[in-house]
Amino acid sequence: MTLDDLPTPCLVLDLGVLKRNLALMQAAVARFPGLTLRPHMKTAKSIEVARLAAPDFGPITVSTLAEARTFAEAGWRDQIYAVGITPAKLDAVAALNAAGAAVKVITDDVEAARAIAAHPGGLQALVEVDVGEARGGVAPDGGALPEIAAALGPRLAGVLSHSGHSYAGRSPAEMAAIAEAERLAITAAAARLREGGLAVPIVSLGSSPTAMHAARMDGVTEVRAGVYMFGDLFQGQIATHPLDDIAVTVLASVIGRRPDRNTLLLDAGALALSKDRSTQAAPRDWGFGRVLDAAGHPLPGEPMVARAYQEHGEVHAAAPLPFAALPVGARLRVVPNHSCLTAAAHDRYHVVEGDEQVIATWNRVNGW
């Protein structure tokens, strides 16, 4: 089967690019002996990808209970569910752990910590620490940190942070500086708790850019990263991976041609591509995605999806498009701005390896 045999729109995953990206991160983490890579499966949501990213059922990070359940049943026991837990979800996590998993949860709330401590099931939790993103987490030097840790008591598993604000960086040097600020903050939080007599076995930090470019990791036990596996047009512009090493694309068909306007219409719109506009803040804005030919090669004029409707993508280019080679029904591939959101619209990957031959189909774990 080839890409020409697939219905469109659909998601294509290049295995060779995926393997290169995995090797790049593994090499980055290997610079720090003793540091564990805990891949975040929120982007890939795939058992087959997990086999490559976390071989031998190594530790992973998940973002939904559906992921936690699926990966636990497939053999990945050591997990961190890295979204703030609610008391209503504790029974589900405890059930997974009773069946043999070791799913740890996170919290930045003292009442949630008390609920975790009081739950009859086998639960462990990390305190989420804010290291600059200002999303979730408590201040490393604030009073909430020891209060939450004390409320967890023996169920305290460690501290955790996420440097999503690293996405504002634009160079390896800037990423390294953000990574060092995160390291200093999370290790200071761990030191405070240890000084208070608490055990803090896990000191977990991460984002793909900071994991790739950190200069130091002393005091940190593990690093979490996820989008590096696939990459995307935004991550490629902030030095997470080479710009051409983006493993996922959306295969689309030409459904309309407007030579007088130098535009094409594709059957991949907002629902197939997402409406993420992260490259708007990057050095190069790719609209709703870069358009390549069916083999994944550039086209004249560097076309992009400039407008996205629910099921329509309108392609614009800076040079005349090759309309003679692009009749209605012709296949093109769209490179995503944000692979996490684009992939979330699809239920499977059609796997290729450097060409148009489909060698496998891998299912995704969608839903919550």
Question: Given this model, what pLDDT does residue 172 score?
Answer: 92
Residue 18 domain-assigned?
no
What is the token pair recorded at 33? Answer: 């002996």
Query: Is there a contact between 268 and 331 (Cβ–Cβ < 8 Å)?
Result: no
Same domain for 298 and 272, yes or no, is: yes
What is the token pair recorded at 75? Answer: 């053999």
Domain range enclosing 323? 3-12+247-363
Question: Whose structure tokens read 């710009």?
Answer: 243
Mean per-residue pLDDT for 4-20?
Answer: 98
Number of domains within the chain: 2
Same domain for 160 and 283, yes or no, is: no
Residues 6+ apart with CB under 8 A from 51: none
More reliable by pLDDT, 166 or 98: 98
Cα–Cα distance, 332 to 166 (Å, whole number)? 32
Residue 22 domain-assigned?
no
Residues 6+ apart with CB under 8 A from 138: 108, 127, 128, 129, 130, 144, 145, 148
Residue 238 domain-assigned?
no
For the chain, give the mean pLDDT: 97
Question: Whose structure tokens read 């999503």?
Answer: 164
Strand 125-128's sheet: what is its strand order? Answer: 36-39, 222-225, 202-205, 156-160, 125-128, 102-107, 78-84, 60-62
Question: Given this model, what pLDDT does residue 264 score?
Answer: 98
Nearest 5°: CA angle at 364, between 358 and 367?
Answer: 155
Mean per-residue pLDDT for 83-101?
Answer: 98
Cα–Cα distance, 136 to 121 (Å, whole number)? 25
Same domain for 142 and 213, yes or no, is: yes
Exposure b/e, 209-224, CB count within 10 A at least 16 = b: bbbbbbeebeebbbbb
Torsions phi, psi of 67, nearest 5?
-65, -50
Over residues 324-366, the pLDDT tens digits come to 999 999 999 999 999 999 999 999 999 999 999 999 999 999 9
Same domain for 217 and 317, yes or no, is: no
Residues 6+ apart with CB under 8 A from 303: 264, 290, 291, 315, 316, 317, 321
Same domain for 207 and 261, yes or no, is: no
Same domain for 173 and 285, yes or no, is: no
Query: Is there a contact between 160 and 124 (Cβ–Cβ < 8 Å)?
Result: no
Over residues 181-200, the pLDDT tens digits come to 999 999 999 999 999 999 99
Same domain for 81 and 204, yes or no, is: yes
Of 366, 367, 363, 368, which Cα lies nearest the Cα of 46? 363
Q: What is the CATH number of the domain that holds 345?
A: 2.40.37.20
Residue 107 DSSP SS3:
strand
List the beta bridge partners of residue 160.
128, 204
Mean per-residue pLDDT for 33-43?
Answer: 98
Residue 137 domain-assigned?
yes
Cα–Cα distance, 269 to 235 (Å, whole number)? 22
Residue 199 domain-assigned?
yes
